[in-house]
Structure formats: structure tokens, C-alpha cells
Amino acid sequence: MNAWPFIRGGLVAASFLGGALGTDRRYVDFGYGLLEMAAAVFVFGIVGMLFVVGIQAFNPRSDVEWSYPSWTSNPFKLGQPLQFFHLCGYFFLAAGVGALLRAFFVHATLLVEPVAFASWGAGILAGVWCCTRAFRRKMARGGHFRGNRPYGNT
């Protein structure tokens, strides 16, 4: 029996509960509207993933072949950076969604932090997908992102 789906699911569920049951922090005004901030954080997640994983693509300690992100894989294996960032993306997305749900029920909740977390998590996940395309030479043959459903004609 593979325990990784339960470990990953537990971490994501704890993140969601942390967002949903957490308390507001001090208000920070970045001087931008929510949409601008969300777009900037989303793009930062994509560019950050391409940069960090791009460095790992040339790291000799990285595995020769990376497996596509999967809920059944060990996210803490150092030679497989996409597995870790796949978990991180869902972790931040769950925290943001949990906090957004709290914001809808508790009107005193500020939206800056929940929107930033949700956008960053979505950006990381989009960045992981972009990495599977940009570093195709490192990806395992025959494997696909999200199980058996490939993206595009690969």
C-alpha cells in the first residue's frame, strides 16, 4: 500500500483547515488592487518555478529522468523537484481557498492574504506544468502529468 496519497492529502487538508480556521494578520497595503496583486503573484509563481526547476535541470545531483507529478510519489525525494513543488502548489492553493471561504463567512477578514496564497498556489501549479513542457528532455518517457491523461500530443 502506498502511503503518499494519504500523506499529501493530509498536508493539503491541514493547510486548508489552517486557512479556514486561522486568524487575520495585520493588514498590509501593497498599493495595488486585488486583481493586480493576484496576477503578479500568479506570474511570479510561474516564473519562479521555471527559474528554480531550470537550475535543477542542470544540477548533476538531480535524477537523470524526472517523473511527472503524481499524488502517489514521494514529494521529498531530492532528485525529483517537480514532485515537491507539485505538493507546494496544492498546499498554498488549499490555504488560500480555505481563507477565502473564511472571508465569505467572516466579514472582518481581509482578502489580501487569501488571494495571494490562492494565486501563488495556482501559479506554482501552472509553473510545474510549464516545467514539464520546457524541460521535456528530463521527463520520463511514457509518463504523463496527472496520471494517464497527457497534455497535448506527447
Q: Is 80 exceeded by the pLDDT of residue 151?
A: no
Residues 6+ apart with CB under 8 A from 144: 68, 150, 151, 154
C-alpha cell at 77: 525525494
Q: Is 50 exceeded by the pLDDT of residue 150?
A: no
140 vs 91: CA distance, rounded Å = 25
Mean pLDDT of the chain: 88
Report the percentage of the chain scoring pLDDT > 90.
Answer: 69
Give the residue with greater pLDDT, 41 vs 26: 41
Q: What is the pLDDT of residue 148?
A: 41
| Closest residue by Cα to residue 102 from 11, 12, 22, 3 | 22
89 vs 103: CA distance, rounded Å = 21
C-alpha cell at 83: 514532485
Domain boundaries, the chain: 39-54+81-154
pLDDT in tens, 73-120: 999 999 999 999 999 999 999 999 999 999 888 876 678 889 999 999
Instruction: State pTM to two decimals.
Output: 0.86
| Closest residue by Cα to residue 126 from 67, 39, 64 | 39
C-alpha cell at 108: 472582518
In 19-122 the beta strands, taken as DSSP E runs, fall at none
50 vs 74: CA distance, rounded Å = 21
